[in-house]
Structure 1
């Protein structure tokens, strides 16, 4: 394939900058505001002639086209599927593996027998799950509407020889989800697929369907952008609010990770919404243009069936830990739904907690049950960012 390097970079940039499709109601409101603004600017009276009204409508449509994101559905042909594999398979594997590792670490007794991957693409989710629970998983159900993508994923599973069976036993490839509500899976995953749905109603119905299919854990992974994070928070609200008229499983959902609470995300403030994202380093596919190591910036959400009473509500580290002489700066998302900044010292908090915090990274949980009483907390302050950056640059140099 010609220009593969340029095409992989172009596809990666496009997928990273991709936004959700604008809803029809939002588009109408935007058109009404533009029309009102144009009328005021041109001092147009309501009793306009027909040709002037047509010109005004043309201006509104032209302005909408220039200022509105144009979402397009991606049709994965054989060629585009191969470009996607070269561009994204390794990063998807890294992000999904990191999310699954959270389950493996905190729920060691969880041994899934069945896996459902919605929007399976190149099959990276099955590879990641097999590397963690390969001894127990008996069925890997890969669902993708693109026949070309499914054929590529199956070919990757078989290896070089066409006659060879898939190297992971129990892998199946389908274009549609199982219809019966009785068919459930221990582990359900959707990675980088929600933005391929054309509107909010489709995302709602898809998330509800995936939750109905979930018997243990539901894992959702998206780009670590504002759009990706907001789609995950949409999904979180859909499941937690329980708007399903038909309840197929009475067990209540709870947020397993990364949120230590069920409250609204404190990063989604109306004034300055910020994505809750994480970074995973990985060794990329051995193409000549790839560096020895890359980083995947992603957001994820893990929901579990059950009450979650045995879970410790430890706060999660949301930014890189800043180590200074005899003290450490840690930014936390706490169980009360707030973002806090803590300064930890060995004298005040003990050497065990100090060493634990010093060796923590962004995305880790800090083993403190009551941060308000055990740590010196203060609201996060924006003015500290520049000083922190300067100090980090000094440390690296």
Structure 2
């Protein structure tokens, strides 16, 4: 669910940015703009697939071409998205809510994996109309002190400022046209940011060489966390996999070189040397999905705004009240991955037969007279039926021990949330009490939705195969109630994107 203030801002901007036309012409006009924007996205994606990976390209940053966001010179001619006011308004109406939802999901995952991390200085590359900024405000509303935005399109910058009008307690915000202009405006001591994010922007750059150059520049500006988010398509997932491989390879080479040059004085090697993946990968090895014919992505469900329902409707057919945004991402952190014990180390699980042999028959006795007295005040028959179902479930499954495994199940945010703040202080306290999974290699990631058939659950899990998390594999895990009722209870509640103990 979008924050209330963002929802109101989107509505006001969508109305104000549309040129003055008759009431009957406004909706078809916006539909044409949204359709044209979608065609531009598809055209750039098609060109990206045609470009050879080894072909050198050049990014041209022309401050006088204020209508162009990214102008790229290649053998196929100039490619890029042209964001004038009309195209920007179409983007806000059609794409901004989905981009915000994906960014919020990723940043919330960072907060869950790193509960002690609270960024004060942030860099948003390719900020657009501020989708990532709004997500940052929701996830870390109190810690943000300074935010640097890099966005070449003046129209996008104006739209972002318009959306922020009237907000209180904002951090100090500076906007720049390029990384070069940012570097000229700050000192060397101000270069590093606690968190750097680049969302839905690398796919607009067709050359792998240029993408790597930009990501390396962003990594140099990163003190702690770097977040990359792309659409959840084969092309977007491939971009994330390439950038992931390059950053890990570059930092591993640097660490080996530093260790070799400082054998005499090992203290010169800083704790921040190296890099590891915080999410979604549980390991730092080669991606096991690259050659599997599948691609790593996740899904975020969001409620459609009124403008989306109006402008995305085709041929008068009603739209669903929600949409599913597919996205791929990777989160890097400087330093070495912690060597924490794996969650299943030393755990002994009983089979269902062994648990039944140990249970006390008195525990299964239910005083139905007392139970019926409690239900006399409730006249709704469906509640009685639900209670009977709960009792039956308790008889079947509650004999399993409750805290044998400290498995961490993350909310996926797939359900549409209620109005009001996405995260209240009570929710944050509840998350802290529930605990968080460590960053060691003992926690795998569930990729794709688990399949439940009878008393067994089948999951596709990306997990580490070595204690140092240097290698990983993509495995299919089957959890049955007969062999392991405790893990079966966890598996039944697990969904796409959750962590799984290895």
Return the alpha-carbon distance in structure 1 between the equivalents of residues 456 and 77 of structure 2. Answer: 49
Q: What's 1:90 paired with?
A: 97
Partner Cα separation in structure 1 for residue 110 and residue 54 of structure 2? 38
Alignment match of 2:476 (pick from 341, 347, 359): 341
Q: Deviations over 1:124-157 (max 9, x none)?
A: 1110001010101111211111111111101111
Aligned to 1:356: 490
What are the residue-to-residue correspondences of 1:247-326 with 2, within 5 Å? 250-269=272-291, 273-287=293-307, 288-289=309-310, 291-309=320-338, 310=340, 311-313=439-441, 314-326=443-455
Distance between the aligned counterparts of 1:306 and 1:202, measured in 2? 25
Partners of 2:98 and 2:76 in 1: CA distance: 26
C-alpha deviation, 1:194, in angstroms: 0.4
Q: Shift of the alpha carbon at 1:181?
A: 5.1
Look up the match of 2:436: none
Structure 2 residues without counterparts, runs of 5 or longer: 1-17, 19-25, 57-74, 259-268, 311-318, 341-438, 466-471
Q: 1:345 to 1:118 in 2, by over 3 A?
A: same
CA contact (8 A) 2:33 2:90 kept: yes
- Does the 8 Å contact 2:33/2:86 carry over to 1? no
- Report the Cα offset of residue 13 of structure 1: 5.7
Residues 144-293 of structure 1: matches in 2 within 5 Å?
A: 144-159=151-166, 168-177=170-179, 178-179=182-183, 182=189, 183-242=191-250, 250-269=272-291, 273-287=293-307, 288-289=309-310, 291-293=320-322
Give the direction of change, closer, same or farther, for the CA distance of 1:9–1:25 in structure 2 (3 Å limit).
Answer: closer
Query: Are the equivalent residues in 1 in contact too, given 2:113–2:278 (CA < 8 A)?
Result: no
Question: Structure 1: any 5+ residue segments left out of the alignment?
Answer: 29-67, 160-164, 369-397
Q: Which stretch of structure 1 is more off in the superposition, 177-186 or 321-330?
A: 177-186
Distance apart, 1:191 and its partner CA: 0.3
| CA distance, structure 1, for counterparts of residue 168 and residue 78 of structure 2 | 36
Which runs of 4 or more aligned residues in structure 1 lie more than 4 Å from their structure 2 counterparts after TM superposition?
A: 21-28, 68-71, 243-250
Following the alignment from structure 1 to structure 2, what is the Cα–Cα distance between the partners of residues 69 and 14?
Answer: 15
Q: Secondary structure at the match of 1:348?
A: coil
Classify the secondary structure of the residue corresponding to 2:196.
Answer: strand
